[in-house]
A and B are shown apart, each in its own frame.
Chain A
């Protein structure tokens, strides 16, 4: 292996030499291993085949507002993985919701702004607000993400075919993360209607002729008539991976985040006379979504020096034993590497994955929103701690990129 790695350097004997690209294809595992564990004679640092340090992420760029026919859109490129996300808002009338009841519509007597403020102040400890949010966003399915890989993004995915199980599970992950981070505020998606508060004598006068037009909620205008929700915005979040070179989730999530930050909803109100929701044409009336926090996803893969360790060893060492071995070996050659932001080539060579989604609050305290680890047994608690630290560094970087776009 070492000889063949050195062979391309000595071009004097062309018969035996092997260009690196061919070596990479014939012996992918050995190729990556040779890069990560250079011979101790030359003082090269451990570097991945793509030229990155093990904990280095790929160059990331984001561009918001690329699509004109959407309410919000973004293109995020992480290395050679590119994701386009478009957010389209459509109206959902409450009368079209089968399970909608009047009590649900008028349950909140607070004005939308004040509800917003109390939530800002008390963070998310208000159980009632959370429950109402969940009832609206989750039960009514106001967020509909869909991820498409059938775009010819990589040779393995046939364009135009049915969604692969990878695409489906990525869609679910994005939806589940949107729900669990409560990124979108339900209040941004509600369209309220405040029935005009008429004085009692005025009402007497108007009641007869207006009875026809006016909605049932107005029949009981003893005091100030309660506001009611007339419609919701439903956000259709479509993600196309137009080029896939590993780590689809990070790119897709970053694209969703950038697109939602870019999303503007037109001003909409209930028109009593036409009994419909009308929207304002002017862009100055439109307002942006106010998102909760900035959750940033970072994925990692574990490359093992001995690819066959899992199946060849008749007896896998105990966890404590493995740790002791690793500590003893510290400083020497490590047996496995944590690779941040794996590309397509590395994903093919690794089985163990980890994904951490972090956010930082105003004090700079790191909050973990999702932590996944699967497919192997080499990552332990210390490694996860390290991954969380790396992810919080990545958060700073992504925040800068997303703020600039």
Chain B
């Protein structure tokens, strides 16, 4: 299948999913065929397995969350469009053999497909000015699919670099004076024109870089998960909006949460007020990390939470699946 054909196919499917999400549940048949078709050349058996898992579990998670904490959202004046079923993203690790770490990630709602690679620690030749004696320099490069990188990419690179600089443990042995180079190529999805908002692409880029960093075994203090949220003109919060929904929205928000619940990144644009943002933040938190539980000890909370269906759970499962496959020789002999 040529790249274009694949692109149009995925776009059609994502439109379909948007419609279905708005108008109610649908059969699972479509969805499965979509994943088998659109997973692309980088799909590995593990990634397919991951998706189907996320997919089947997510409805139960939605209902769980509804039972657990019904009052927080419903008592709020804003109304929500609840997605009855959520099409999960697809991802696979270590696609590239020459890079230290690599990952591909595909977001079903926006249609973006990112291939990321990480090289760390690596010497940065000729960059004496950027070499810090105490810690590693993080470099991020974004390559759009159909053009050269422009000012918009510089901006997104800056956001990702600032965020990762703080999370990557650049003072570990072997890292100071060297570089952590992250390259993100947009291999599928629509083009972003000059001056367009980069927010729709940002969560995919963040997830790809995280998976690539994990694949490259770069030491980090925490992992994270990100979500794209839109508030439509009629004040309805749409989580994981499609590109069409994002374009029509009155405000767009990208939030990233650390694996310990800190708000790592917030990028909001459009017209909104603070109360709306707070609701968006709660909603995004639920999407990324599951519903907040009252004080429980860390491990128990994890168990009770059941993190599948959340963005963080997705990252975890992708890595777990990859490890299972890598250590199959060992696991099978035991």
CB of B272 within 8 A of CB of A165, answer no
Contacts A320-B295, A384-B266; is A374 near B261 (CB within 8 Å)? no
CB of B277 within 8 A of CB of A368, answer yes
* Segment 160-206 of B: residues with Cβ below 8 Å from A: 162-163, 165-166, 169-171, 193-198
Contacts A318-B298, A371-B277; is A377 near B162 (CB within 8 Å)? no
Contacts A172-B151, A351-B162; is A385 near B260 (CB within 8 Å)? no
Contacts A317-B260, A374-B162; is A141 near B170 (CB within 8 Å)? no
CB of B273 within 8 A of CB of A368, answer yes
Contacts A179-B195, A311-B170, A388-B274; is A380 near B263 (CB within 8 Å)? yes
How far is A177 from B155 in the complex, measured between Cα atoms in Å?
Answer: 13
Residues from chain A with Cβ under 8 Å of B264 in the complex: 374, 376-377
- A385 CB to nearest chain B CB (Å): 6
CB of B165 within 8 A of CB of A381, answer no
CB of A180 within 8 A of CB of B171, answer no
> Main SS of the interface on chain B?
mixed
Interface residue B258 (Cβ < 8 Å from any Cβ of A): yes
- A266 CB to nearest chain B CB (Å): 26
Interface residue B271 (Cβ < 8 Å from any Cβ of A): yes
How many residues of chain B are within 8 Å of chain A by beta carbon?
46
How far is A48 from B158 in the complex, measured between Cα atoms in Å?
Answer: 27
Residues from chain B with Cβ under 8 Å of A316 in the complex: 221-222, 258, 260, 262
Interface residue A329 (Cβ < 8 Å from any Cβ of B): no
CB of B158 within 8 A of CB of A165, answer yes
Interface residue B159 (Cβ < 8 Å from any Cβ of A): yes
Interface residue A379 (Cβ < 8 Å from any Cβ of B): yes
Partner of B195, one of A175, A310, A313, A381: A175
- B169 CB to nearest chain A CB (Å): 6
How far is A141 from B281 in the complex, measured between Cα atoms in Å?
Answer: 33
Interface residue A366 (Cβ < 8 Å from any Cβ of B): yes
CB of B163 within 8 A of CB of A372, answer no
CB of A168 within 8 A of CB of B221, answer no
Residues from chain B with Cβ under 8 Å of A172 in the complex: 151-152, 154-155, 195
How far is A127 from B222 in the complex, measured between Cα atoms in Å?
Answer: 43
Residues from chain A with Cβ under 8 Å of B222 in the complex: 316, 377
CB of B162 within 8 A of CB of A375, answer yes
CB of B271 within 8 A of CB of A369, answer yes
Residues from chain A with Cβ under 8 Å of B265 in the complex: 373-374
- Residues of B that sit less than 8 Å from A by CB: 135, 150-152, 154-155, 157-159, 162-163, 165-166, 169-171, 193-198, 221-222, 233, 258, 260-274, 277-278, 281, 295, 298
